[in-house]
Amino acid sequence: MRLNVSKQIVVCAVALTSIGLMFVAPTFAGTYMGCPGTTNPGPVAGPDVIVGTLCHDAITNFNSAAISGVTYEAFSMGTTSCNIGTVHLNWIDEGNNPNHPAISQNFYRLKNINGTRRFEQLAQAWLKHGFCALCGSACCTDRLDESCDHLGVGCSDPYSSSRNGSQTANMGPKWQINATTGIHPEPRANPGGATSTTVSRRMHIPVTELEVSNGTGDVNATRYWGESQYVAADDAAAGNKNNNASYRPINVSGSGSAWSFSALGTTQRQQCGIRAWADTDTTVTDPATITRVVETDMITPEDNGDSALVIIAAQATNLGNGLWHYEYAVQNLNSDRSVSSVSIPVSSYLTVSNIGFRDVAYWDGDGEGNVTIDGTDWPGSHANGAVTWACTQTYAANHNANALRWGTMYNFRFDCNEAPPYSHGDTELVGATFGQFKPNAQSFVGDTVAPASVTCVRGDMNNDGLIDAGDIARFSEIIVNGAATPREKCAGDLEAIADFGVDLDDTDNFANCLLNGGGC
C-alpha cells in the first residue's frame, strides 16, 4: 500500500512538470510508519539523514607512517546514510554546489586506568563531501527513488571505507562547515590534492596509544568505537540535526608498529560516540564505590535564535583513603559557536589535585587559512569555588585557537578529597557552566557529577549546633597542628576575607563569636 502511494506521487510529479508547474519535493503519507531498525517511530517532518550503517564493508587499513619520530596507524570506515524523513535530502555537488552533506569520522577508546574509567577521543578525519546519492534499502523497505542529486525518502546511500578515506578533492576541513546550520561555502578550503603521507587527513593514531581490544563483555577491558556524522543544511533547517551521528564497536589487534582495525557488533543508529560510555558501563551497583555514568544533553544558544547540542558525560570513582577521582567527557555535536571553557563547582574548602585535560589532535592545515588548529592544552585551576579549564586564546586573538569545535570531544579530570552527594542510593548532580568561543558568546549550564558542597555554621568547630567553649579545643588544635576537615575549615575561616583555612588570623573573630554567644 505504501509503495502504491509512492508511485502515485511520482505520476503526479510527472504530470505537473509536463504542464510547466513547479514540482515540490515529494513526501510520504498515509500508512508510512518510519524505518525498521531505527529509533524513529514514524516519519519526521522534512529531510532527516542518519548513519544507518557504519562499516558496512571491511574497514580500510592504510600503511603506517612515521612523522617527526612518531609512528601512526590510520584507517577509514564505510558509511551508509539513510533518509528517514518525509522529504528528499539535497545531494548536489556539481559546479561547486554546497547543497550536499559532509561526513565526519571519529575514533574513541574506553580504558581502565588505575581503577578509573576514561572515555577519550583518539582520532578524527577530515570530512568526506557527498556526491550522487543512490537509493538502497539499508533502513527502509518503502522508498521513493530520485535522481543522483537527492537522497529520496526512505533511501540509503553507501560510501565505501576506501572512498571515505580517499585523499582527494572530496575531502575538506571541518572548520568551514557551520554544523548548527549545516551551511558551508564552495569551493571548499584546501581541497585535497597531493598529501605528504599515507595517514594525512585520515583518522590516524600514534601506535603508542593502541593496545589489543580485550573483548566486549568486560567493562574494565580496553574497548574502541568508531563514529560518523552527516551534516546537511536542509536536514538542519528541518530541525533534525541532533540524530545524525551513529557509533559502532571497533576491534584493534596487532603489536609494535603493526596494527589493524575491524568492525564488531552492530551500528547504534542515531547515537553519537559519547553515548557508548554510558551504554557500555552499566555495571555500577554501589555509588559509594563508583557512580554510574551520568550523561546530560545541553541545548546551546547559537546565532539567529538557533540552537545546537553539546553533551557531558561523567563518572566519579572512589580511590580510597578519602580520595575520589572525577572524570568528564564533553562532546560538541554541532555547536558552531564552540566551547571555550568548562567549570565544575568544587568548594574552595576542598583539596583538588591531578587536574588533567585531553583534546584530540588536529592535522594537515585543518584550520582557517590552511593553518593547523592550535593544540595548546587548556590549563585547569581550582579557585573561586570551581575547577575551571579554559582555552588559552580568544576567537578575536586567534580564530584557530584550541576551542572544542563541532564533531570533537575533550576530557577533563581531577582528584578531590570529597565524595559526590547521594540521595536514595544515587548521585545528586550540580550545574557545570560552559563558555562559548565565537562572537555573541554566551554561557550555558548542564547537570553533572561533582564533589559534595561544604556547609557549616561559622564558629561551630565540633558541629554540635552551638558556638561555645566546646569549640575552643578543636579550634586551638587546628591552629597548632594545621590539620582540618573541609567542614572545619569552613567553620573556622572567620577573617573578613576568606582564605579557606584556619590560622591565627581567624583567632580574634573566633573569640568574638564566643563572647557574642555565637554571633559570628
Question: Picking from 42-56, 221-235, 309-323, which range would have the lowest pLDDT averaged per residue?
Answer: 42-56
Name residues whose C-beta falls within 8 Å of residue 480's C-beta, 6 or more positions apart in sequence: none
- Distance, in Å, from the CA atom of 199 to the CA atom of 176, rounded to the nearest integer, reads 21
400: three-class secondary structure by DSSP: coil
Model pLDDT, residue 3: 33
pLDDT digits (tens, 9 = 90+) for 285-303: 788 899 999 999 999 999 9
pLDDT digits (tens, 9 = 90+) for 334-374: 999 999 999 999 999 999 999 999 999 998 889 998 899 99
Model pLDDT, residue 283: 75
- pLDDT band at residue 34 under the 50/70/90 scheme: low
Model pLDDT, residue 380: 98
Model pLDDT, residue 58: 87
Model pLDDT, residue 36: 52
pLDDT digits (tens, 9 = 90+) for 113-166: 998 999 999 999 999 999 999 999 999 888 999 989 999 999 999 999 999 999
Q: For the chain, how many residues are written?
A: 520
- β 245-255/422-423 pair status: unpaired
Q: CB–CB of 350/417 below 8 Å?
A: yes
Between helix 472-481 and helix 507-515 the angle, nearest 10°, is 180
The alpha carbon dihedral of 395, 401, 407, 410 has a sign of negative
Q: Of 31, 10, 62, 53, which is closest to residue 248 (Cα–Cα)?
A: 53
Name residues whose C-beta falls within 8 Å of residue 235's C-beta, 6 or more positions apart in sequence: 46, 47, 48, 49, 85, 89, 101, 182, 241, 244
Is residue 212 predicted with pLDDT exceeding 60? yes
- Distance, in Å, from the CA atom of 85 to the CA atom of 3, rounded to the nearest integer, reads 16
Is residue 13 predicted with pLDDT exceeding 60? no
Is residue 408 predicted with pLDDT exceeding 70? yes
Q: Where are the domains of the chain?
A: 1-177+184-283, 284-454, 469-515
- pLDDT band at residue 194 under the 50/70/90 scheme: low
pTM across the whole model: 0.91
Is residue 79 predicted with pLDDT exceeding 90? yes
Is residue 395 predicted with pLDDT exceeding 60? yes
Bond into 187 cis (ω within 30): yes
Name residues whose C-beta falls within 8 Å of residue 344's C-beta, 6 or more positions apart in sequence: 326, 328, 386, 387, 388, 412, 414, 430, 432, 448, 450
- Distance, in Å, from the CA atom of 283 to the CA atom of 279, rounded to the nearest integer, reads 10
> Within 10 Å of residue 324's Cβ, how many Cβ atoms?
22
225's enclosing H/E stretch is: strand 223-231
pLDDT: is 293 or 424 the higher one?
293
- Grid cell digits, residue 194: 597531493
Is residue 390 predicted with pLDDT exceeding 80? yes
Half-sphere exposure of 108 (CA within 13 A, CB side): 28
- Grid cell digits, residue 272: 553519537
> Within 10 Å of residue 321's Cβ, how many Cβ atoms?
6
Per the prediction, the chain carries an average pLDDT of 89
- Facing residues of 354 across strands? none
Q: CB–CB of 220/42 below 8 Å?
A: no
- pLDDT band at residue 215 under the 50/70/90 scheme: low
Q: Which CATH class is domain 284-454?
A: mainly beta
